[in-house]
Amino acid sequence: MNFLLTGGVVFRDGTFQNMDVAISKGRIVSVSPSLSQEGFSVIECQDQVIVPGFVDVHVHLREPGFSYKETVASGTAAAAAGGYTAVCAMPNLDPVPDALDHLRPELDAVARDARVRVYPYGAITRGEKGAELAELRAMKPFVCGFSDDGKGVQSRERMRDAMLLAKELNKPITAHCEDESLLTPGWCVHNGDWAKRNGFPGNNSESEWRQVERDLELVRETGCRYHVCHVSTKESVALIRQAKAEGLPVSCETGPHYLILCDEDLMDDGRFKMSPPIRSAADRDALVEGLLDGTIDCIATDHAPHSAEEKSRGLRSLNGIVGLECAFPVLYTQLVEPGVVPFATLLNALCVNPRRLFRLPGGKIEAGEIADLTVLDLNWPHTIDSTTFFSQGRATPFDGWTVTAGVDKTICNGNLVYTASSHNVNKTPIPPCQEDYI
Ligand SMILES: [Zn+2]
């Protein structure tokens, strides 16, 4: 299919330019202020912004092993509806992708059902159990990096071994940082004033930042590319800022919920339960500061669906919320509209930096690039309604929030994969893009 996106404002090189974009055979073929419409199916983008498709470097698609929570089909449909053209899929699956034969079922499900590009992570350790290293070398051609997400790697020696090998393989280690020896059993919220007032066991900030601190020492020693998952504490932000100033190959992400909410917003509802927990106002403000000064590179949702029953036990529910289908509208409305974060900074965190860090194709709206694009409508007041989600998960703290912007269309591999007007996701499988990737 050939498409011409006309009348829109294109985000390129950090600026906004009035341009038409022509797409043919999965590629951008021309970008110019005015293009001939002959031979193209025209998509009117008046008053809309065309950006490189979003990339979420931290999602849980739950297949194989937990298809009652989510599948590759439902999770990538949610991604398409949220404006994402690529997601990096975490390995806490069954089987855990810790060897090629354990990665195969996930690759098969992706080849069959992915509505956007999926780049799996391989596990760092066998079964994500922290004892023995997984088969990193064998998995390398098929994965975007290595992670034991859901758990921290407790052994310093094992993490050092993993970093040395990842460095040799030129892949990043993407770390869920959590020192279990510093955790309170049964924690369900941040260990702050709200926890004390309301009588809930708290999770210490130290459990996160102590492990970030340890890993940064190992990066200094090994030179491994290292990405910190879902940074939630002000201390972690300060450590990562310092490491970047030293020139270490370090990057990180945080989630929309950590940038927008704090523990004073908590309700005893599964929609507010995730790991790490939503922390104090001071932590939230430090995260926003980190996004503004470039310490925080990416916004990733940590989309982690569970069944309704699993999320029915208030703040004692399983950890994880969904994020793909409301991230952009909520971030734009809460951070860009009030002038807290420049729009270009938000877009860089959603679509430019993730590709640069994980060496994924796309990210530029130029002739010759792959046609992975998102069309945004910034004048679209509506309400987040989780009952309309393509995800099987429904738990988000932003359910019912009023937003002023949204994703109008998502184009992946030159195909129109999502259209808001019909709320439809195209079921054609989308291949991962191997170019520049292995
Ligand atoms: Zn995690």
Name the residue ranges covered by the structural domains of the chain: 3-49+368-436, 53-358
pLDDT of 76 reads 98
Mean pLDDT of 40-67: 98
* Nearest partner of 410 among 422, 398, 400, 402, judged by Cα: 422
C-alpha 177: how far from its chain's center? 16
Separation of 334 CA from ligand 1 center, angstroms?
Answer: 24
266 has a pLDDT exceeding 70: yes
Separation of 174 CA from ligand 1 center, angstroms?
Answer: 10
Query: 176: Cβ–Cβ under 8 A, 6 or more apart, which residues?
Result: 147, 148, 149, 150, 151, 152, 229, 230
pLDDT range class, residue 433, cuts 50, 70, 90: low
319 has a pLDDT exceeding 70: yes
- Phi first, then psi, for residue 149 (nearest 5°) are -50, 145
Separation of 304 CA from ligand 1 center, angstroms?
Answer: 9
pLDDT range class, residue 251, cuts 50, 70, 90: very high
Mean pLDDT of 415-423: 96
pLDDT of 365 reads 98
Task: Tell which CATH classification among 3.40.50.1000, 3.20.20.140, 3.40.50.2300, 3.30.70.1350 matches the domain 53-358.
Answer: 3.20.20.140
Separation of 13 CA from ligand 1 center, angstroms?
Answer: 31
Query: Is 306 annotated as belonging to a binding site?
Result: yes
Mean pLDDT of 225-238: 98
- Phi first, then psi, for residue 37 (nearest 5°) are -90, 0
Prediction pTM value? 0.97
pLDDT of 355 reads 97
Question: Which residue in 148, 263, 302, 399 is the catalytic one?
Answer: 302
Mean pLDDT of 248-265: 98
pLDDT of 435 reads 53
Between CA 436 and CA 438 the distance in angstroms is 6
pLDDT range class, residue 437, cuts 50, 70, 90: low
438 has a pLDDT exceeding 60: no
Query: Which tokens in the block code for residue 342?
Result: 């420049």
Separation of 248 CA from ligand 1 center, angstroms?
Answer: 22
Mean pLDDT of 410-434: 90
Residue 432 vs residue 249, higher pLDDT: 249
Instruction: Write down how long the chain is.
Output: 438
Query: Is 176 annotated as belonging to a binding site?
Result: yes
Query: Is 385 annotated as belonging to a binding site?
Result: no
Query: Is 149 annotated as belonging to a binding site?
Result: yes
Query: Is 60 annotated as belonging to a binding site?
Result: yes
pLDDT in tens, 380-391: 999 999 999 999
Separation of 193 CA from ligand 1 center, angstroms?
Answer: 24
Mean pLDDT of 79-84: 98
Residue 428 vs residue 374, higher pLDDT: 374
- Phi first, then psi, for residue 6 (nearest 5°) are -125, 145
Q: Report whether 354 contacts 57 (CB < 8 A).
A: yes
Identical topology for domains 3-49+368-436 and 53-358: no
Query: Is 61 annotated as belonging to a binding site?
Result: yes
Mean pLDDT of 360-379: 96
Mean pLDDT of 222-249: 98
1 has a pLDDT exceeding 90: no
Separation of 41 CA from ligand 1 center, angstroms?
Answer: 42
Mean pLDDT of 388-400: 98
33 has a pLDDT exceeding 70: yes
* Nearest partner of 251 among 174, 192, 195, 313, judged by Cα: 174
Mean pLDDT for all residues in the chain: 97
Task: Tell which CATH classification among 1.10.760.10, 2.30.40.10, 2.60.40.10, 1.10.1500.10 matches the domain 3-49+368-436.
Answer: 2.30.40.10
- Phi first, then psi, for residue 54 (nearest 5°) are -65, 155
pLDDT in tens, 18-30: 999 999 999 999 9
Q: Is 285 a catalytic residue?
A: no
Helix, strand or coil for residue 286?
Answer: helix
